[in-house]
Every structure is written in structure tokens, then in C-alpha cells.
């Protein structure tokens, strides 16, 4: 099993999603249940549930059953200040557009092929 990344990296990845940032900002106003959050940020409840689960797993959000509904709340309000102050999420944690992924893959493949070609040239030069 690969080693666990540093907690800071996990938090940055969590905050790289606009939906998760919107959920955090929504919960800054107080405890809310799933449908309230979904209606407020105009996303499907299934989408919100997925992102809330991730936020719970890393300890940013916790839930509690009240009056037959599962309410969510922020564990630490400092994260709201982080988001409201507009501190950028490092680019290495932001999802890349597909064309950038393809360019990087192409560049990596080209570098590998160049290394192979150089090794072949050395082997052929020995003969």
C-alpha cells in the first residue's frame, strides 16, 4: 500500500473542487442538511452527498442526526477564512484540462523514446 500523503496535500486536494469549496462556504452559515446544501449551491443531492462524504473522511465536516435529518457542520471554521481570503490552491492540486494532460503525456513519451534511441545508438556504435 502506498504511503499516505501529508495531511496538507489531502486538504489542498479537497479544496481544489469548486463543489467542496461551495459546501464549506455554505456550512459557514451554520449546520445544514443535505437538501438545504444542494438547493443553496444548485447541485444534485447525490453530488453533494459524494463530496460531503469525502469532506467527512478527511475531518473537515462532521454529521449528526437531528429530528430525523442528517445535519452537517464544519469541524473548524478557520478553513472558511482560508477560502474567503482568496488564498489560491497550488496548481499541482488543481485538475488539469484534458489537452494539458495529453501534452504532458506526449512530452514524457518523447523523452523516453529519445533515451531509448540514445541507448540504441550506443549499442550500434559498439559493433
Question: How is 61-111 classified by DSSP, letter by letter?
Answer: EEEEEETTEEEEEES-THHHHHHHTTPPPPGGGSPPPHHHHHHHHHHHHHH
Strands 69-74 and 61-66: antiparallel
* Domain ranges within the chain, ordered by starting residue: 7-93, 96-127
CATH 1.10.260.40 for the 7-93 domain, yes or no:
no
Structure confidence at residue 43 (pLDDT): 95
pTM over 0.75: no
**Is residue 7 very low, low, confident or very high in pLDDT (cuts 50, 70, 90)?**
low
Tell me the average pLDDT across 102-110: 89
Residue 50 has pLDDT above 90, yes or no: yes
Residue 90 has pLDDT above 60, yes or no: no
C-alpha cell at 16: 481544489
Amino acid at each position: 500500500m502506498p504511503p499516505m500523503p501529508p495531511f496538507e496535500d489531502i486538504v489542498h486536494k479537497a479544496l481544489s473542487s469548486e463543489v467542496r469549496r461551495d459546501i464549506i462556504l455554505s456550512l459557514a452559515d451554520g449546520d445544514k442538511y443535505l437538501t438545504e446544501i444542494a438547493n443553496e449551491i444548485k447541485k444534485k443531492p447525490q453530488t453533494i452527498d459524494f463530496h460531503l462524504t469525502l469532506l467527512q473522511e478527511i475531518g473537515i465536516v462532521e454529521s449528526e442526526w437531528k429530528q430525523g435529518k442528517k445535519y452537517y457542520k464544519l469541524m473548524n471554521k478557520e478553513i472558511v477564512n482560508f477560502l474567503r481570503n482568496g488564498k489560491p490552491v497550488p496548481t499541482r492540486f488543481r485538475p488539469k484540462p484534458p489537452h494539458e494532460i495529453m501534452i504532458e503525456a506526449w512530452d514524457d513519451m518523447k523523452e523516453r523514446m529519445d533515451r531509448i534511441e540514445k541507448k540504441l545508438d550506443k549499442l550500434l556504435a559498439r559493433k
